[in-house]
Structure 1
Amino acid sequence: MEKTLSRREKERLKRREYILDVALELFSSKGYHNVTMHEIAKKSEFAIGTLYTFFKNKEELYRSLLIHKSDAFHTQVEEVLDTPGDEVEKLRNYVLTLRTIFQKNADCIRLYFAETRGSCFNPKAGLDEEMKSRHRKILQRLAAVFEQGIKSKRFRPLGEPTYLAHCLDSLCNLHLFLWLENPTDNPYPEDPDKILNILFYGLLAS
């Protein structure tokens, strides 16, 4: 049975989430190393002592921020991949879900990919392997969609499901990086088939 939170506990969670949102804004605009706990406290309008009741230092705050956000991202993606249905539609919904997440959380995505891709803003935070582990679980679910599609003869067996999952993940990430760099010239595709058709049909004309 789910525990019912008291008013005080709800208020504490609300404060914690607000502090994380302020920290995300500062980390994204200035970089991890250029932000202090005092600056986060000032912008969030809390006393510095209040911050330390939630997080023992900046590294823990940073870690909590990325874990909190990545859990929300992964939950959305897992729900799409675990939904019963046609494999092609699952892949389309996967690409569309990533697009929605990217557009609504651009600042956090920059931090997230810094961790999962190995170019960490803060190597001391100890998040690299934990974030990669979460990412691997998504790839495993994505590979399962390709595997089921091959078994049902929806897809041709052109490669190992894990390899295909990495290919699609990389294609989505490429569009993401281009969009983050210049959203005007490189909009993330609204039609998921613009990405998926690279896998579905390739480059050679029939």
Structure 2
Amino acid sequence: MRKKRWKKILIWTVSIILLLGIGGLFTANYMMDKMIASLADSLESELIEDTLAEAPVETDKPTGEAPTPSNTTEDPQNTPTPNEEATNGGSASSDTPSSTTKPAGDSEYTAEISTDKAKNVQEKITVSEKAKLASVFLKELSMDDIKALQELASGGLNLEEKKAARSLILEKLSPEQYDELIQIAKKYGMSQGKSYSEVSKEE
């Protein structure tokens, strides 16, 4: 019974190795897509939770401003006409987008990874780059390391979590591997592109 079981395990292991060898690019492409997609989904769900949590606070604001109608009735000359309100409202609404919206390029570096940034990277990163990332991570990182990185990225990546992930990767990767992968991250605006030696001095 043990011999049969070991034969099954051996055949299963060899088949996986052959599958990874033949379809390495496809496997890496699929795996990296899943990793980036999970990061984007977690960020999106976190943003939805934040907006739902802030919604009750916004609805309470009009109740505190109730005494204002008494002041408006005293000066009828100062009350704006409907046409003036329409023009003022239009100008106010037209001014707000210009101050709030600041479009940034997909390759521009940002300290924290947003949902749109993660989705753009997922769409634009090449298959060869995904294969390179996957091959290095699978070769140098253990399952515990990969799980630790997944836990760090589960709720989005802030500055502290990015530093923790960077420290783990610095410990496991060689300077050449790190410098090669960091250039891929820099290309898509997910890193400043500092070399292994530069980052090691900051640790």
TM-score normalised per structure 1? 0.26
| Structure number with bigger Rg | 2
Larger RCO (alpha carbons 8 Å, 6+ apart)? 2
- Choose between structure 1 and 2: higher helix proportion: 2
TM-score normalised per structure 2? 0.26
